[in-house]
Each structure stands twice: as structure tokens, then as C-alpha cells.
Structure 1
Amino acid sequence: MPRLIIVMAALSVAGSAQAQIGQRANPDLDKDGRVTLAEFRKSQADGMMARFDANKDGKIARGELAFPPGMSAIGERIWERLDANKDATVTRAEMDAAASVRFERGDTNKDGWLSKGEILTLRQNRGRDAG
């Protein structure tokens, strides 16, 4: 699957305009039935870094992402959101900030954690908050 799909999911903040990317890691890292902000940020950022930081320098350079034909406009909007300081790289801090925004959107009842239903809704809507 194209790398853009994972960028979108992580971002929308993570999340974003894409297709399924296969089996997703469970963001409930401690398996207590709740996903905290810390768990959500870790699962989002770790996945992004593992997939896209090809040279393992701790950041994702614009050149490490390839947008497939027909997805470049959406991909560019997502990149713009991720690269908050506009330095052509996305750091772990920028990914964490984007994940925090997405977490807040997903925590619809504002109880400080995401339920399985809230996570499913985030995944279903990830393409809608790409632009």
C-alpha cells in the first residue's frame, strides 16, 4: 500500500484520505480497554517512524514519502499539517502534536480516553479530516 495511506492514518493527524492498510496495531498498549493520549501518541508516532524514517535519523524527510498518482493533492495537505514548522521534515514532536489533535477529536465524550467505538469512528473518518 502507498506510504500516503499510513501518513493519513497517523495524522488525520494522523489519519486521513486513504484505503485500508491491512492489520493495524492495537493502540491499547496495556490492554485495559481504554486508549489514553500517551498510548495513542505512541502507537501513532511509532508506526509512522517505523514505516517512513528510511534512514533512521529520527525524522521523516519529505523525500521519504511517495504519493501515488491521484493522491498527491491530499498527500500535500496532510504533509502541510504534519510539518508544523515547515522545515521539510516531520519530527516525533510534530507527530505527537498531530496525534494529540486527533485524539481530542476522537474523544467525543471528553472522558480522557478512547473507547473501541471512538477508535473505530476515528478510523472510519480519517479521510474526512485530511483537508
Structure 2
Amino acid sequence: MNKKISLLTLGAALIAVPVLAAPGGGDRNATQTRAEAQTKAAEMFAKLDANKDGKLDAADRVAKRAERQAKMFAKLDADGNGSISKAEWDQHGADRAAKRGEKRAAADEARQGKRHGMRGHHGKRGGRHGMMMMGKADTDGDKAISQAEFQTAALARFDAADANKDGQVTPEERKAQREAWKAKAGEWRAKRGAAPSAPASE
């Protein structure tokens, strides 16, 4: 089970590589060069490599969890005395309730407008698509992704989107790539949902 979770985590990390995201702070009308995609991939790898050992594996997942726990404790310990009082805990609960309300309101508003993001046909980020990407990126089969493997996978995604092979990905090419992914996901769902054919009667 832990190995499967680790693979999902690494797959999700690959999906998060922003090589097909709009550059320039999210400008959807901007064109991205291959050099920019390579730089963004390097930045993402550095961010995901929590223990700075030059690879993405289960150890990074553990390190990230510990980092999140430390941040959460520091956030709860408002007065910084190394312990969490009942008042601090109650305040945390009130803050969480308020944020949940804000998120529900934002979600309702988003449903009324255009949906954004990488979720949708993938469900939770990662999933089956993440597993497949993990398998493709982990070329040496060691259940870890090196920086070189990460870069290679990121640039492969860029090259796949660069339809005219001019070293740039335009907003139109990004859109075409997203549509192609949606089509493949639809085909996979259709195959998965198709009932097995009944045996022929003699």
C-alpha cells in the first residue's frame, strides 16, 4: 500500500510540472519556449525534492509531511511557547469553519462559471494518469525520479504539445493538448464502463 501511495505521489508530481501551463504569471495568451519549460521544470523539481537528495521518492513524501506538520503546529501555537492551549485550539477550529464556508461559497460560484484547473477528468490529481506518467518517467525502474528523468519527462510533454515543432508552445497548442487528453480520458472511461459481451449461445 505504501509503495502504491508513493507511486501516486510521484505521478502527481509529474502532472504538476508546469511545462504546459501558461507562462508569465498565468497569462493564457503568452507563448512558452522550450528553454522556459526546462527552467520551470528545474524549479518544480527543486521544490518537490524536499530532502534535497537529487531524486523524488517516498522519502520526499515523508519529509513533506513532516514539514506540513511543523508548519501546522507553528500556526496553532499562536504565542510561540511550544505548546497549544485550549484557546488556541478553539481559535483554530473557528478559523477552519470560516475557511470551509468561504470554500463552499467559492465552489458554488465556480460552478456557475467556467471550470479551471487540472482536475475534472483526472479526479484527484495523480490517479491512474499519474501512475502511467510515473512509469514512463522512471526509466531505470528504481521507483524514484531523478532530476534528469524529471526534465526528460517535462520536455517530452512540451514537445508533444509543440505541434509545429518550432520550439514554442502557443495558447492554441496548449488548448489542443488539453483537448487531446480529455478525448483519451473519455475513451478510457468508455472502455472501462463497457459491459463485457455475453458469451455466444450455441
Structure 2-normalised TM-score? 0.43
Q: How far is the alpha carbon of 1:27 from its aligned partner?
A: 3.2
Preserved CA contact (<8 Å) 1:27 1:43:
no
Instruction: Give the Cα separation in 2 of the matches to 1:122 and 1:45.
Output: 22
Which residue matches 1:36?
33
Among residues 34, 51, 54, which one is paired with 1:58 in the alignment?
54
Instruction: Give the Cα separation in 2 of the matches to 1:115 and 1:74.
Output: 24
The number of aligned residues is 114
Which residue matches 2:17?
10
Percentage identity across paired residues of the two chains: 26
Query: CA distance change for structure 1 residues 106 and 37 in 2, over 3 Å: closer, same or farther?
Result: same
Instruction: Give the Cα separation in 1 of the matches to 2:23 and 2:166.
Output: 17
Which residue matches 1:18?
none
Instruction: Give the Cα separation in 1 of the matches to 2:148 and 2:131.
Output: 19
Preserved CA contact (<8 Å) 1:10 1:45:
no
Q: How far is the alpha carbon of 1:56 from its aligned partner?
A: 1.8
Greater Rg, structure 1 or structure 2? 2
Preserved CA contact (<8 Å) 2:32 2:169:
yes
Instruction: Give the Cα separation in 1 of the matches to 2:153 and 2:159.
Output: 10
Preserved CA contact (<8 Å) 2:51 2:59:
no
User: Which ranges in structure 2 are unaligned for 5 or more consecutive residues?
Assistant: 1-7, 63-122, 189-202
Structure 1-normalised TM-score? 0.61
Instruction: Give the Cα separation in 1 of the matches to 2:143 and 2:58.
Output: 6
Structure showing the higher helix proportion among its residues: 2
Among residues 141, 152, 171, which one is paired with 1:116 in the alignment?
171
Q: How far is the alpha carbon of 1:72 from its aligned partner?
A: 4.6
Q: How far is the alpha carbon of 1:124 from its aligned partner?
A: 5.2
